[in-house]
Structure 1
Amino acid sequence: MNIKKRSVWFLTLISLVAVITVFYVSDKPSPFDGLKLFSDETLENVDLVETSATNEKSFASENNAFEEMRMEVENKRSLLREQLTTKVGTNDFTADEKADYFAQIQELTNVDSAEGMLELIIKSIGYDDAFVRIDDTKVQIDVVASELSAQQANEIIYAVKQEWPKAYDVSVKFTGQQ
C-alpha cells in the first residue's frame, strides 16, 4: 500500500514537471523582468530624485502622492476585508451568505494583485510610476510621464486589456513630470 502511494506521488510530480516544462517552453517571453527589480542598479535608482531649478514639483512628490493614494485604497480594502472575514467567521449567516462573503474576499485579493501587476507592467513599458484602480469593469490609471500622446495612452490601454480581460472601460490620466 505504501509503495503504491509513493508511485502515485512520484507520477504526479513527474507529470507536474512535464506540464510546467511545456508551459515554460511554449510561453512567449514576457517584457517584464522581475529579477531586474532586485538588482543593485534598481535599488540605487530608487533613491534618485529628479529635480529642476524651474520646476517646483518633483518626481518624488508625485511618487509620494501615488503612495498616499495607494495607502487610502489599501486601508479601505483592509477594512472591508476585515468586515467580510468577521461575517464569514460568525454563526449569524447562512452557508450561502458565508460563501458569498468569502467570494468577495477572494475578489478583493484578485483585484489587489491585478492592480499591482498592471502597475509593474506599465512601469516596464517605460513610465516612471503608475497608479491603477480597478472597480468591476472600470480601470482608472494615473501615469507619471513627461510627454502626453494618444499613442502612449493606447499602448497602456492595450497592455491593461491584455492582462485584465475584464477591463471594458479603461481611462488613462497623465500627470506631467515636473
Structure 2
Amino acid sequence: MKTNKRTVWFLTLLSLVAVISIYYLNKKSPMPFDGITIFGNSDNPATITETTGKDDKQQPVFAESYLFETMRMEVRDERSQIQEQLTSKLNATEDSEEMNAVFDEMAQLIKQESAESLLEMQIIALGYADAFVRAEGNSVTVTVLSEDGHSNKQASEITHLVMTNWEDAKKVKVDFKGDS
C-alpha cells in the first residue's frame, strides 16, 4: 500500500516538474518594465500614430469596449439596487405569499442576467469584438462593437439568434458601434 502511494506522489511530482519545465522553455522573453513611464505624470492620453502616405493619422488608444464596460457597470449597479430592495422587502415581510413573490422576482432577475450574459458570449462567438445585451420587458437592445462594419444580414443574424434563444424577446433592436 505504501509503495502505491509513493508511486502516485512520484508521478505527480514528475508531471509537475515536466509541465513547469515545458512552460519555461516555451515562454517568450519578458518585456522590459520601466515603472517610471507607467507612473509618469502625463496629461495626454496615449495615441497610436499610423502613417499612410502623406498624412499622419492619430487615434486615441481608448477602445469603444470601455463604453460597453461602462454600460455593464451601470446595469450591474441598477440591478444590485433592485436586489437590495428585494432583500429588504423579503426581510420585512412575514407573509408566505409575499415572500414567494419576492423570491420569484429575484429568480427572474437572475435568469435575465444570465440570459443576457449568454447572449453576449454567443454574439462574441459569431466574430464580433464585443457585445452588450440589455433586456427590458419584451424588448431587447443589442449593441455590437464591429470593426468590419455592419450590414442588414449581420443585424438579422443577431436578431434571429436573440429570438431563438430568448422566448420572452418580442422586439429586438441591434445597434452597431465601431469604425465603419
Q: Structure 1-normalised TM-score?
A: 0.66
Shift in Å at residue 167 of structure 1?
0.8
Q: Deviations over 1:52-80 (max 9, x none)?
A: 6336355x521111001100100110110
Alignment of 1:1-178 (within 5 A): 53=50, 54=57, 56-57=59-60, 60-90=62-92, 92-145=93-146, 146-177=148-179
Shift in Å at residue 133 of structure 1?
0.2
Shift in Å at residue 83 of structure 1?
1.0
The alignment partner of 2:169 has SS state of coil
The alignment partner of 1:158 has SS state of helix
Shift in Å at residue 159 of structure 1?
0.9
Matched to 2:134, the amino acid is R
Q: Deviations over 1:21-58 (max 9, x none)?
A: xxxxxxxxxxxxxxxxxxxxxxxxxxxxxx66336355
User: In structure 1, what is the Cα distance between the partners aligned to 2:67 and 2:49?
Assistant: 19
User: In structure 2, what is the Cα distance between the partners aligned to 1:78 and 1:150?
Assistant: 35
User: In structure 1, what is the Cα distance between the partners aligned to 2:150 and 2:49?
Assistant: 20
User: In structure 1, what is the Cα distance between the partners aligned to 2:169 and 2:111?
Assistant: 14
User: In structure 1, what is the Cα distance between the partners aligned to 2:137 and 2:49?
Assistant: 39
User: In structure 1, what is the Cα distance between the partners aligned to 2:76 and 2:82?
Assistant: 10
Q: Deviations over 1:97-117 (max 9, x none)?
A: 221111111111001100100
Which protein is richer in helix relative to its size?
A: 1
Shift in Å at residue 96 of structure 1?
1.6
Tell me: higher relative CO, structure 1 or 2? Use CA pairs within 8 A at least 6 residues apart.
1
Shift in Å at residue 173 of structure 1?
0.2
Shift in Å at residue 118 of structure 1?
0.3
Which protein is richer in strand relative to its size?
A: 2
User: In structure 1, what is the Cα distance between the partners aligned to 2:49 and 2:130?
Assistant: 18
Contact 1:122–1:156 under 8 Å retained in 2: yes
Q: Structure 2-normalised TM-score?
A: 0.65
Aligned to 1:22: none
Distance of aligned partners of 1:126 and 1:166 in 2 relative to their CA distance in 1, 3 Å threshold:
same
- Identity between Structure 1 and Structure 2 (%): 36
Contact 1:87–1:93 under 8 Å retained in 2: no
Q: Structure 2, unaligned stretches of length 5 or more?
A: 1-47, 51-56
Contact 1:88–1:101 under 8 Å retained in 2: yes
